[in-house]
């Protein structure tokens, strides 16, 4: 995922080495992109949290 969307790592203060790091970074970035908390929560429910995080990283 980081090879396809390397820009997400620019927003991770301690880097991304695990899913937990990606999820924390995406929680911050989704706001920058104008994705509301409820929309992201819905996406996590429908797609699963990992897939929703990947989608946000791809949009970035």
Q: Report the distance separating Cα 58 and Cα 1, nearest Å.
A: 9
CB 55 within 8 A of CB 38: no
pTM: predicted TM-score of the whole model, two decimal places: 0.88
Q: Is 49 within the bounds of a domain? A: yes
- Of the chain, the percentage scoring pLDDT greater than 70 comes to 100
Q: Is 43 within the bounds of a domain? A: yes
> Does the pLDDT value for residue 26 go beyond 90?
yes
Q: Is 7 within the bounds of a domain? A: no
- Reported as a single tens digit per residue, the pLDDT across 10-24 is 999 899 999 999 999
Q: Is 33 within the bounds of a domain? A: yes
Q: Report the distance separating Cα 45 and Cα 54, nearest Å.
A: 14
Q: Is 3 within the bounds of a domain? A: no
Question: Which tokens is 55 given?
Answer: 């989608």
What residue numbers bound the domain in which 53 lies? 15-59
The total of structural domains in the chain comes to 1
């Amino acid at each position: 995922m980081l090879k396809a969307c390397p820009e997400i790592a620019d927003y991770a203060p301690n880097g991304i080495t695990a899913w937990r790091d990606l999820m924390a970074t995406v929680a911050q970035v989704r706001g920058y992109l104008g994705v509301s908390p409820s929309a992201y929560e819905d996406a996590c429910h429908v797609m699963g949290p990992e897939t929703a995080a990947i989608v946000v990283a791809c949009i970035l």
